[in-house]
Homo-oligomer: A and B are copies of this chain.
Amino acid sequence: MSSGPSRRRLLAGAGAAAAAAGVGAATGYLARPAATQTARPQADGAATVPFYAPHQAGIATPAQDRLAFGSLNAVDGATREDLRELLKAWTTAAAAMTNGKLVGENTRPYAPPLDTGEAIGSPVSRLTITIGYGPSLFDQRFGLAGRKPEALAQLPPLPNENLDPDYTGGDLCIQACSDDPLVAFHAVRNLARIGMGVVAHNWMELGFGRTSTTTTSQATPRNLLGFKDGTRNIKAEQTALMDDYVWVGGETDQPWLRGGSYLVARKIRVFVENWDRDYLQDQQNVIGRTKAEGAPLTGGGEFTPPGFQATAADGQPVIPPSAHIRLASFEHNDGTRILRRGYSFTDGIDPQAGTLLGGLFFIAFMKNPAQFIRLQRSLAADALNEYIKHTGSAVFACPPGLRWDQHGGQHWGDTLFS
C-alpha cells in the first residue's frame, strides 16, 4: 500500500544495529533496537513511533487504524524468573518490531525461525506495542502481591453486561496498533510465540477500524452505529487533562506504576440488525447527536459543546435525559474523563440467529479504574443499552515507558521486580 521502505529494506539497512543479542535460549536471538527515531505524525507506511519514551507508546499516540489485542495467562508452573525473563525478551522484540525490524534473523536452518515472517515486506505503519499487568498477576504465584496497586482489581458487576468468561480477564495484555492489520497481528503472534512455555493466550481480538481520535489533528472516525465517535475524547495535546485523568501520578501506592496508566477493555456487542431498523431521528435521540455531521442536537457543528440545559418549546430537554452523550459526559459525572482508544470488531455470525457478532472493542486509558466504573454506572440509564451488551471485560495496569541511554535500554519488569 505504500512506496516507503519495507520492513525488509529497513532490516537490510540496519547494519550493525541488527547484530544479534542473546536473550536466553528460550527466545533465541533478537535484533537489538536501533536508536529511537522521530515519529512522523502523518500516516505513512514507513513511519515508526519511538519505543523508548517517558510513557508507553500506544496510549497518547495518534490512534492507528487497526488493532490486535491479546490477553494472556501464565501457564501452570511458570516461575517468577520465567516471567521476568519473558518481559525482557518481549522488550527486545517489541523495540525491534516497532522499529520496523524482524524479531531476529533466521540464519539457523535446524532451529525454528526467530520471526514468523508474515509481515516481511509490510511497512511498519506506526506499529506500537503496549503491555499491561492484570490483577491476577499479583497473586501468590510470582511473589508480586506486595507490588499490587490498590486501584488494580477486577471490575465490580456493572450495568448492561453479560460477560463471557472466554473474553474476560488475563494476567498480561498486549495491545498492538498499526495502520496495517497484518503488522499488528504479527506483533501479538510473535510475542505469544516467544512466551511459549511461560504464557498462553487467554483471548485475542482484532479491531478493523479505529473509533477514537487521540489528537486534535485526526478526523473523528465512525463506529458500527455509523456515528462519529470520540469528538469529546481527551486529546494528547491537552497535557493538563492527560495528567489529571490518564497518567498515573504520585497518588499511586506503587511507585513502579508512576507514568503508567490503567487500561480497561470491554467487548461491547452491538445488535446492528436492531439498530439498522431504528429510524434516523430515534438513533439521533439515543446518541444525542446528528448522524451525518455529529453535531449535538442543540445545534452547531461537530465540535460545538452540547447544550445539556437547553429545552424545547414543550419544556423537555433537547438532548434527552437518556442520551448517550449526556450520561457519558464529564458534566454529568463530576468532571470524570477517560482517554478512549477503541476499535470496531467482528467475530462473524451467530450461527443460530444469523446475526452479527460484532461491535465495539472498547479500550480506554485512565489514572484509576474508578473513573470507568463511575461512567459505566451513569450509563445504566443510557438509551443505547437497548442496542448493545458488554460481553467481555478486563483491566490492566500499564507500566510507564522505558529509557534508552548509553548503558542500553530498560526492560519491562525492571521496576516491577526490583
CA distance A68 to B179 in the complex (A): 18
Interface-lining segment among A132-140, A271-279, A312-320, A393-401? A271-279
Contact yes or no, A117 B208, CB < 8 A: no
Contact yes or no, B209 A182, CB < 8 A: yes
Contact yes or no, A110 B209, CB < 8 A: no
Query: CB of A349 within 8 A of chain B?
Result: yes
Q: Which residues of B contact A356 (CB under 8 A)?
A: 189, 201, 204
Query: CB of A348 within 8 A of chain B?
Result: yes
Interface-lining segment among A153-161, A222-230, A368-376? A222-230
Contact yes or no, A113 B209, CB < 8 A: no
Query: CB of A344 within 8 A of chain B?
Result: yes
Contact yes or no, A224 B118, CB < 8 A: yes
A116 to chain B, nearest CB (A): 5
A79 to chain B, nearest CB (A): 19
Query: CB of A88 within 8 A of chain B?
Result: no
Contact yes or no, A181 B208, CB < 8 A: yes
Query: CB of A240 within 8 A of chain B?
Result: no
Of the residues B109, B203, B346, contact of A349 by C-beta under 8 Å: B203
Contact yes or no, A182 B208, CB < 8 A: yes
Q: Which residues of B contact A221 (CB under 8 A)?
A: 121
Contact yes or no, A277 B112, CB < 8 A: yes
A193: nearest residue on chain B (CB-CB)? B276
Query: CB of A219 within 8 A of chain B?
Result: yes
Q: Which residues of B contact A272 (CB under 8 A)?
A: 116, 189
Contact yes or no, A208 B209, CB < 8 A: no
CA distance A354 to B201 in the complex (A): 5
Contact yes or no, B204 A346, CB < 8 A: yes
Contact yes or no, A121 B219, CB < 8 A: yes
CA distance A277 to B203 in the complex (A): 21
A209: nearest residue on chain B (CB-CB)? B182
Contact yes or no, B109 A279, CB < 8 A: yes
